[in-house]
Amino acid sequence: MLYNVFVDPFVQMADMPDLLVQVLWEGTVAGVLYALIALGFVLIFKASGVFNFAQGIMVVFAALTLVGLHEKGVPALLALAITVGVMYALAWSIERVVLRPLVNQPDIILFMATFGITYLIIGLGEFIFGGRPKAMITDQLFLPRGAIDVHMLGGRVTFQKLDIAAAVIAGLMVLLLAVFFQKTRIGRALRAVADSHKAALSVGISLNQIWVVVWFTAGLVALVTGIMWGARSDVSFGLQIIALKALPVLILGGFTSVPGAIIGGLIIGIGEKMGEFYWGPLVGGGIESWLAYLIALIFLLFRPQGLFGDKIIERI
């Protein structure tokens, strides 16, 4: 047993280095995509201190809107532009109808409100688009298909072009967001709002405007996530489950850190793929779901605030 746990997996890695590279690559792609989902959560948490339970369904709604519009005959790029508009309208509506009346209420109230938003969007999505799965319009969005086979390390490593595109787009998205938060006036205002609603209001920052911007940005992140995950499988309400993968990423990376979401996503993505592939067979497989949480909890033992989360010191 000790051999199977502590020796055999490493023997396998040495024997089949091409497969090791393949596992690392698959983990990296999954990690980047987890990071994208986590980013949506981080954005809203930073601005309002609320864990947005609706982020998963926003991914589904954005992807369904895009594909649904295209099915109705709208050209792909126009459908993409309209979907961006729909996500803005959604952000504006949420701010007007849900958030504004709840300013200065306890965080738990806002958290529960996001439950309500979730079920409302589920109902709305099913009412408009039905429950049937749809195929992502990969070609129409000029996303690449096919694979690049690289013969290396005595074997073959396959890189899907779509996965490469996903990694590049997610990377660019993260870079843009980092610049947006650090270098722009709105980004700085957003960080002020995250620290204290009242203090931000007292220096003239419009809370309402910031919330619309943040929810809209989270909507854009949801759209990109939906396109990428949808192209890898299909566009259906099953996609909302994937949002759960952001939880261990957030625990690990911290709820307020953009770099934390990225590094956390990569650690979880690679960690769970390595764990499932090399250690999963020892316990019958299917360990990915809880392994991600185990990894996150182990990190928490050493850094309770997460990898990059803010250490909260309160005066008493």
The footprint of another protein (CB under 8 A) covers 12, 16, 19, 22-23, 26, 29-30, 122, 126, 130-133, 135, 147, 158, 160, 229, 232-234, 236-242, 244-245, 272-273, 276-277, 280-281, 284-286, 288-289
Q: In whole angstroms, how close is the CB of 53 to another protein at the nearest point?
A: 16
Give the residue with the Cβ less far from another protein, 64 or 207.
64
Give the residue with the Cβ less far from another protein, 101 or 154.
154
d(CA 5, CA 255): 33
Q: In whole angstroms, how close is the CB of 104 to another protein at the nearest point?
A: 35
3-state class (DSSP) for residue 52: coil
Q: In whole angstroms, how close is the CB of 232 to another protein at the nearest point?
A: 7
Helix (H) or strand (E) holding 287: none
Give the residue with the Cβ less far from another protein, 135 or 150.
135
Q: In whole angstroms, how close is the CB of 178 to another protein at the nearest point?
A: 26
Pairing of strands 155-160, 147-152: antiparallel
Beta bridge partners of 155: 152
Give the residue with the Cβ less far from another protein, 136 or 213.
136
Give the residue with the Cβ less far from another protein, 172 or 241.
241
Residue recorded with tokens 């182990």: 298
Exposure letters 155-181 (e unless 16+ CB within 10 A, then b): eebebbebbebbbebbeebbeebeebb
Q: In whole angstroms, how close is the CB of 88 to another protein at the nearest point?
A: 26
3-state class (DSSP) for residue 211: helix
Report the amino acid identity of residue 233: S
Give the residue with the Cβ less far from another protein, 22 or 257.
22
d(CA 183, CA 202): 22
> Are 307 and 299 a contacting pair, CB within 8 Å?
yes
d(CA 42, CA 246): 10
Q: In whole angstroms, how close is the CB of 3 to another protein at the nearest point?
A: 19
Extended strands (E) in the chain: 147-152, 155-160
Q: In whole angstroms, how close is the CB of 135 to another protein at the nearest point?
A: 7
Under DSSP, the state recorded for 257 is -
Give the residue with the Cβ less far from another protein, 288 or 310.
288
